[in-house]
Amino acid sequence: MDDTDPTISNPEFYKTLWENDDVRVLEYVDTPGDETTAHGHPNSVMVTLTGFDRRLSIGGTTRDVTLPAGAAVWLPTQTHSGRNTGTTPTHTILIELKNSAVSAEPGVLGPAI
């Protein structure tokens, strides 16, 4: 693990729920106005337990994302920081795929929806 690992760079928001050689399952929880520092995600599936509004940023690129509760979305490999721009807490589960290709597409930010 390195300092882009969200459980190291942002431990107040990310918690490892379960892990083996192939996957790691993370829980993410925040409240309105909370911000993360830059961190990375490998190819992952994100399941939203609550709906949320977020602003994701990396470099000079930003993207606003709104997802409803109960959504399951593909999150391609990327590095970003984020801010809860909504009025409700965020609660998501991320299933990180450890053994998948880790080449990020330039400019990829947020879920592929």
Per-residue pLDDT of 14-40, as tens digits, reads: 999 999 999 999 999 999 999 999 999
Domain assignment present for residue 86? The answer is yes
Q: Is residue 71 a part of any domain in this protein?
A: yes
Q: Which of 35, 14, 36, 34 is nearest to 25 (CA)?
A: 14
Residue 27 lies in a domain: yes
Taking Cα atoms as reference points, which of 96, 98, 109, 90 lies closest to residue 28?
Answer: 90
Residue 51 pLDDT > 60: yes
Residue 37: CATH number of its domain? 2.60.120.10
| Domain extent at residue 60 | 6-97
How many structural domains does the chain have? 1
Per-residue pLDDT at 40: 95
Q: How confident is the model at residue 99, as a pLDDT?
A: 85
Q: Per the domain annotation, does 104 fall within a domain?
A: no
Residue in the structure block whose two tokens are 């996957």: 23
pLDDT of 77: 92
Whether residue 113 is predicted with pLDDT greater than 80 in this model: the reply is no
